[in-house]
Amino acid sequence: MKRMMTLVLALVLCLSMCAVPASADESAVYRTLYSGEVSSLNYLTTATTAEFSICANVVDTLVEHDQFGNVVPCLAESWDNTKDDGRTWTFTLRQGVQWVDHNGEVYAELTAEDFVTAAKYILDAKNASSTAWILTDYIEGAEAYSESTAEPEEGKEAPAPFDWENVGIKAIDKYTIAYTTTEPCSYFLSMLDYVCYMPVNAQFLEEKGDQFGQATGNDNLLYCGAYIISEFKPQEKRVLTKNEKYWDAEHVYIDVIESQYNKEAGIIAPQMYLDGKLDSADISSALAAEWLADETKADMIHPVRQLGQYSYFFTFNFKPTFDAEYNPETWAKVANNENFRKSFFYGLNRVAAKTVYEKDNPEDLINDTIFPKGVVSSNGVDYTEIGDLANIKVGYDADLARQYRDAAIAELTAEGVEFPVKVMFPYNSSSSDWAEECQVIEQQLETDLGTDYIDIIVVGGPSSGFLNNYRRNGNYAFERCNWGLDFADPVNLTDPFKETDNYAFLIQATQEGLADGYYELLNAAKAMPSSDMQARYEAFAAAEAYLIDHAVIIPYGSMDGGYTASRLNTFEGQFSATGLATERFKGMHLLEKPMSTDEYYDAMDAWEEARAAQAAAE
C-alpha cells in the first residue's frame, strides 16, 4: 500500500507540473456550448450519450472507476461475492448519503430500498426503459417480472403475475443491497457504473408520478451525486452546481458547469473559446491545421484522448422506412444482396474517411472488429485476436469491390432492380466533420464503383432528435452508427444486432439464412458459462465474425481522433472504456490555461507509467 501511495502521489505531482489548476480563491466555473438538447432527465429510462453527460454527474452508482480504470467504492463501501457459487453480490452502503432537491435541501437519506425501487421502475414494462435489458438478461427473475407487467395485446389474456420476491434484487437491511445473477457473472461489477443500477427515492418518485425526470425543469429529480442541476432552461441554458452535501465533496474541484445552447455550437465554439467566453471547444480537423500553424493558437489545443468507449461501424438497413423519393422497395432488395453489400465493404476507403478527423495518423483510429481492442482478454490474448476474429481483415480493395459490384448488378437486374441505386446516407447536422466525412465517402464510393451503379444521397438530419428521426426509425439506407460499452464483455456489442433492437433491423432480412445463421451463433455464445471465458469468447468471436464476413456491417473504429481545446486535464478524471466514468467531472481541476499538446503528452506518459507501475505492484 505504501508503494502504491507513492506512485499515485508521483503522478499527481507530475500532472500538476504539466498544467496549473485555477486559483483556489476563485470559484471554478467551467463554461461549454452544446447544440443537441436532451429529451429526458429520467436516468432510469434513457440510453443516450447527451443525457448520460448530465445524469452521471448528479446521481451516483454503487461503484465508480478511479483515474486508472480500477473499480472503486462509491455509494457502496464494500461488497462480497461468496454466496450461491458466486451468483449473489452483496453491497454494504455508505451511511449518511443524502438525497437533496434542486435547491440543495436535504430530502431523505439514501438507503438500500432506493435500489430496489429503481429496479422495479425499470422492469415495469409501461415505463419502457431503454436499459431494462441489462437487468432482464442478467438478474434472476427480472425477465419474468418484467413480462408480467406488460399490457396485453387487444383480445389476448393478461400475462401471468410474477411475485417480486422471486426477483434477485433484495434490500437485506437499511444499508445492504444484494443482487443475484442468473449464473455466475465475473464481469458484474463492470455493469454497476451505469444508469440502470442508479437508485431512486420511492416517496419522491410517487410524488412526481409521470413528471419524474421530465426535461422541463430541475425540480423533477433528486440528487445524490457530485452536482445539482441548479438551472435548466431547454434550448437556452443548463447549470450544474457543486452539491455541498455530497458525501465526497472534497474531491469535487469544479464548482459550476455552465452550458449554453446554440444550434451552431460546433461552428461558433472555437471563436468563443478564443474570446475567453468558453473553457472548451471541439476543433474540426480543418481548423486544427490552421491553429497548429499559428504559434499562439497552437498551444491552446491538444489531441483528443483515445478512450475506446464507443465502437463505430457502418451498417445497411434491412427495414427501409424512408420516403418514396429514395426508392425504399429497391433498397430492400439491394440490402439483402450480399454481393452488393460486399461491393461497399471492400469499396469503402476507411482511412480516407478517417482523415476528416485525424490527418496525421488516421490508421490509428481504424478497427477491423466491432468490439474494440484493449477492453477484455483471455490468457493474455485480446478478445479481438481470439477465434474467428483473429483472421478478420477489413481493407480497401477497389478491384475486388468492382468484382462484387458486377456480380450484384447481374443478380439484381434479374430481380428487376434499375440502376443507379439510390443510397440515402444521413448525418447529424450539428457536426461539420460528420458532414465532411459523408461527402468524402460519397465522392470516393461513386468514383470507384461508378455513378451508373450507385447514387449516394447525403441527407443532413436535425441536430436534436437525430437518432429517433433516422436510425431508430429505419429512415436510412446506409449509415455510420455507434454503440457505447455499458460493461466489459463481448455480449455488450451484440446488442445493436439482437432481434429486438433497431440498428440494421437484421431480423427483417430476407436473404436466405442470413438472420438465422447469426442468431444461432449468438444464442450459442450467450449460453456459454462465464466460468469458461476462453470458450465463451471464442463463441462470441464466431458470431461477430459472421456479421463481418457477410458484410452486414463494416467495422470502422474509434472517433477519438483530432484535436480539442480545453482547460481540463483528462488524465485526472475517472477512466474506463465502459459505463459512465468519463462523463464525470469529479476529480478534475479547472486549469489556469489550456492544456497544450506538449503538456498533454507529458501527462499521458506520466499516467501510463503510473498505471503500469500500479499493475506491476498488484
Q: Which residue has the cell 483515445?
A: 306
The rounded mean pLDDT for the chain is: 92
3-state secondary structure of 257: strand
The cell for 292 is 497548429
**pLDDT score, position 26:** 65
Q: What is the mean pLDDT of residues 245-268?
A: 96
CA atoms within 13 Å, Cβ hemisphere of 243: 26
**pLDDT score, position 361:** 81
Q: Given a cut of 90, is residue 431 above it in pLDDT? A: no
Q: Which of the four pLDDT bands, split at 50, 70 and 90, describes residue 409?
A: very high
Per-domain residue ranges of the chain: 1-19+595-618, 39-224, 310-557
Q: Residue 226 phi/psi, 5° resolution? A: -70, -25
Of 22-26, 176-180, 547-551, where does mean pLDDT reach its minimum?
Answer: 22-26
Q: What is the mean pLDDT of residues 265-292?
A: 92
Each residue of 48-76: pLDDT tens digit?
A: 888 999 999 999 999 999 999 999 999 99
**Hey, what long-range contacts does 492-501 have (CB within 8 A, 24 or more apart)?**
492/371, 492/578, 493/311, 493/370, 493/371, 493/544, 494/522, 494/525, 494/540, 494/543, 494/544, 495/133, 497/522, 497/547, 497/552, 497/553, 498/522, 500/133
How many percent of the chain have pLDDT more than 70?
Answer: 96
Q: Given a cut of 50, is residue 2 above it in pLDDT? A: no
Of 144-148, 168-172, 285-289, 290-294, where does mean pLDDT reach its minimum?
Answer: 285-289
Q: Which of the four pLDDT bands, split at 50, 70 and 90, describes residue 132?
A: very high
CB-based contact 284:435 (threshold 8 Å) = no
CATH (residue range 310-557): 3.10.105.10
Each residue of 372-390: pLDDT tens digit?
A: 988 888 888 999 999 999 9
Report yes or no on whether pTM surpasses 0.75.
Answer: yes
For residue 530, give the amino acid letter. S
Each residue of 298-324: pLDDT tens digit?
A: 999 999 888 877 899 999 999 999 999
Could you give the CA distance from residue 230 to residue 243 in angstroms, rounded to a whole number? 10
- C-beta neighbour count of 245 within 10 angstroms: 17
CB-based contact 227:240 (threshold 8 Å) = yes
Could you give the CA distance from residue 575 to residue 70 in angstroms, rounded to a whole number? 8
Assigned superfamily of 39-224: Dipeptide-binding Protein; Domain 1 (3.90.76.10)
Measured in residues, the chain has a length of 618
